[in-house]
Amino acid sequence: MSAQELLALADDELILGWRNSEWTGIAPFLEEDVAFSSIAQTEIGHARAWYELAAKQLDTDADSLAFDRQPGEYRCAPFVELRFVPDWAQTIARHWLYESADAIRIQALMQSDDSQIAGLSEKIDREEAYHRMHADMWADRLREEARFQQAVDELWPYALGVLEPDQRDRLCEAVSRDPVDAVERSTHTGELAPLWEEMTMVRRSVPGASW
Amino acid sequence: MIWEIFRQEREGLPFQHGGSLDAPNLAFAEAYARELYGRRDESFALWIVPREAVDEVRDPYVADVFDRDYRRVDGYSLKVKLKEARERAGTAGAG
């Protein structure tokens, strides 16, 4: 797997984890606050693992890849950049669509000839099983809600952009939707730059420091 | 809806009350119970019970109006009874 492909994976997980962590302390109720924060944290943990693999190829370290690149250098899908606080319906719509897409991606990576990639994917998948359980229970609960349905409609082209074109049919099948033109990974939304500002603020405040 | 969570720390140990949580249905209760009581591998198994299913009995002591304290788990007050027995034995021995 190329470093750029690893970075795409890692950036998706880091930025989504970061967006989900914006709910910490303000989720709809306490149990959900704990659960959603925990999911955000494991996404960032997965990002770290992928960055470490990329860092070996690029002769750098995970922190530098996560925080020292310019916003334009990130390879994440526009889908994960969108800021939804305080809209829980949109948040759950993305969570459910992302986990559905991520399951397809991880399944494929578990078949990788590279034993390091396959092994890491298997480990990550064990945690993702909980994410899927959580996403599915919420999707079941909100399925009849107009706000949730509208959010899924709006986000669907973005969700397709998480996957490689040859994997998208499987996502259509998984969430029972028709294919549309995807919002592709090569572009960024206007919401990435402010996120990046905040995410890298402390690290940039003391360049070159060890923490 | 409130759910009571019981956790078994290791296989074979009795389940003990771990705490309670708020969740709209069993699927949510299970997800939150896993998160709150299972995430750190601190439980072998969990019981998830709707609070309404728990029948709480207040003041469960059945009054013993007759002197049947031998039924009680705290047993006899042997000290007094032994003292009395020794006194009787001492009297008998002297007589």
Site of tokens 């009297």: B91
Q: How confident is the model at residue B76 (pLDDT cuts 50, 70, 90)?
A: low
The beta-carbon neighbor of B23 closest among A31, A38, A140 is A31
**HEC secondary structure over A175-206:** HCCCCCCCCCCCCCCCCHHHHHHHHCHHHHHC
Q: How many domains does chain B have?
A: 1
* Interchain proximity A34–B24, CB inside 8 Å: no
pLDDT digits (tens, 9 = 90+) for A131-176: 999 999 999 999 999 999 999 999 999 999 999 999 999 999 999 9
Q: What pTM does this model have?
A: 0.87
Q: Which of B49, B30, B94, B42 is nearest to A134 (CA)?
A: B30
CATH 1.20.1260.10 applies to domain A3-205: yes
- From chain B, the residues in CB contact with A32 under 8 A are 32
Q: Does position A177 have pLDDT exceeding 50, yes or no? A: yes
Q: DSSP letter for B5, please.
A: E
Q: Quote the domain boundaries for residue B43.
A: 2-53
Element (H, E) at B35: helix B26-37
Please count the residue pairs, one from chain A and one from chain B, whose beta carbons lie less than 8 angstroms apart.
30
What order of strands is seen across the sheet that includes strand B16-22?
A: B16-22, B2-8, B45-50
Task: Determine the residue type at A129.
Answer: A
The beta-carbon neighbor of A133 closest among B23, B31, B39 is B31
Mean pLDDT, to the nearest integer, of A57-71? 97
Q: B92 in a domain, yes or no?
A: no
ipTM of the complex: 0.88
The beta-carbon neighbor of A130 closest among B24, B27, B34 is B34
pLDDT digits (tens, 9 = 90+) for B29-74: 999 999 999 988 899 999 999 999 999 999 887 776 777 767 776 6
Strand partners, B17: B6
Q: Is the peptide bond before A86 cis (omega within 30 degrees of 0)?
A: yes
For residue B8, the domain's CATH number is 3.10.20.520
Domain ranges of chain A: 3-205
